[in-house]
């Protein structure tokens, strides 16, 4: 007779938590590294949601019910990382680290909004919500380039699996962030594209730009100048925001910045970011 599924205390906790999010009406999706879940997590469990605080409260409630103890919450600018440890009455359970994210996040901000991730999520046969293949592939590329500066074999293998059937979808999700030509090169040869991807991220992605413009408009005494990533520049230009270009930056590269003059103001840039981020 088969053992009940899931088979581990941490697997049961994770399953109960995700089911509880559904009951509470909190939309969510597992972003990447979800093949072994719920019983065999590979590193952090990345959960994208548009209600990070509520999802965190639900996680702590599920942890207490399962005999787990919340030991740390790392409050980063964009996301919350919750570390959970098995309590004294839990046998055979492993610690869990759950990273609640309002989109595809990294050091520069949010590259793909939660709404975009959640609109394209899909449900596995075991009823776990996971990111669509395009978003998952884009998240893998961005994680390798920005956070790791490397392409570990398990990531390149997974990207290759996704690209075999969903190459266009992965490129479509990457294009607003780094531009279409680089997105295609990254999907075809991630390791070779990492230096160029990292250079593209000298600028801020769309969500980070919107947040930065809002802060500067509120507190700055002068019109701010903001560097944006090449893919974001294209998005803004298509929405009618006039951009200027530095001739040379510190790395002898052309850098795109939001212009201080012209027909479109920084307020226009912020509104363009909000529109793009919303849909």
Residue 279's pLDDT is 41
14 has pLDDT over 60: yes
Structure tokens at 197: 């991807």
Characterise 173 by phi-psi region: left (phi > 0), alpha (psi -120 to 50), beta (else). Answer: alpha
119 pLDDT above the threshold of 70 = yes
Per-residue pLDDT band for 85 (boundaries 50, 70, 90) equals: very high
* Segment 94-111 mean pLDDT: 85
In the predicted structure, residue 37 carries a pLDDT above the cut 90: yes
> Half-sphere exposure of residue 67, counting CA atoms within 13 Å on the CB side?
14
Tokens of 157: 């293998």
Q: Which residues contact 110 (CB under 8 A, 6 or more apart)?
A: 78, 101, 102, 103, 104, 205, 206, 207, 208
Residues 6+ apart with CB under 8 A from 244: 256, 257, 258, 259, 260, 262
Sequence-distant (≥ 6) Cβ neighbours of residue 7 within 8 angstroms: 39
Percent of the chain with pLDDT over 70: 68
Whole-structure pTM over 0.85, yes or no?
Answer: no
pLDDT band at 16 (very low <50, low <70, confident <90, very high): very high
For the chain, the first-to-last Cα distance in angstroms comes to 48
Mean pLDDT check: name the lowest of 2-16, 37-51, 97-111, 251-265. Answer: 251-265
Tell me the per-residue pLDDT of 180-192, one tens digit each, with 9 for 90 and over. 888 999 999 999 9
User: Which strands sit side by side in the sheet containing 227-228, from one edge to the other?
Assistant: 227-228, 255-258, 243-246
Indicate whether 270 pLDDT > 70: no
- Note the pLDDT tens digit of each residue in 190-204: 999 999 888 776 555
pLDDT, position 207? 53
């Amino acid at each position: 007779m088969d053992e009940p599924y899931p088979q581990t205390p941490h697997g049961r906790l994770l399953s109960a938590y995700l089911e509880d999010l559904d009951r509470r009406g909190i939309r969510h999706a597992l972003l990447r590294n979800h093949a072994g879940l719920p019983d065999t997590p590979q590193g952090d469990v990345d959960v994208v949601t548009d209600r990070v605080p509520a999802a965190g409260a639900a996680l702590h409630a599920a942890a207490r019910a399962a005999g787990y103890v919340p030991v740390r919450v790392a409050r980063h600018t964009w996301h919350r990382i919750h570390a959970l440890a098995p309590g004294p009455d839990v046998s055979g359970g492993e610690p869990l680290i759950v990273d609640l994210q309002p989109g595809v996040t990294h050091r520069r901000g949010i590259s793909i909004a939660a709404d975009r991730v959640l609109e394209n999520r899909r449900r596995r046969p075991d009823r776990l919500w996971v990111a669509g293949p395009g978003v998952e592939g884009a998240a893998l590329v961005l994680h390798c380039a920005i956070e790791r500066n490397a392409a570990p074999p398990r990531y390149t293998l997974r990207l290759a699996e996704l690209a075999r059937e969903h190459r266009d979808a992965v490129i479509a999700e990457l294009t607003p962030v780094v531009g279409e030509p680089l997105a295609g090169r990254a999907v075809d040869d991630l390791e070779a594209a990492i230096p160029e991807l990292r250079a593209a991220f000298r600028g801020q992605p769309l969500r980070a730009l919107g947040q930065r413009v809002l802060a500067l408009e509120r507190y700055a005494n002068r019109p701010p100048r903001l560097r944006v990533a090449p893919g974001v520049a294209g998005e803004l230009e298509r929405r009618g925001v006039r951009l200027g270009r530095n001739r040379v930056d510190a790395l002898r590269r052309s850098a795109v910045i939001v212009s201080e003059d012209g027909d479109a103001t920084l307020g226009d840039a912020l509104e363009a970011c909000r529109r793009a981020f919303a849909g």
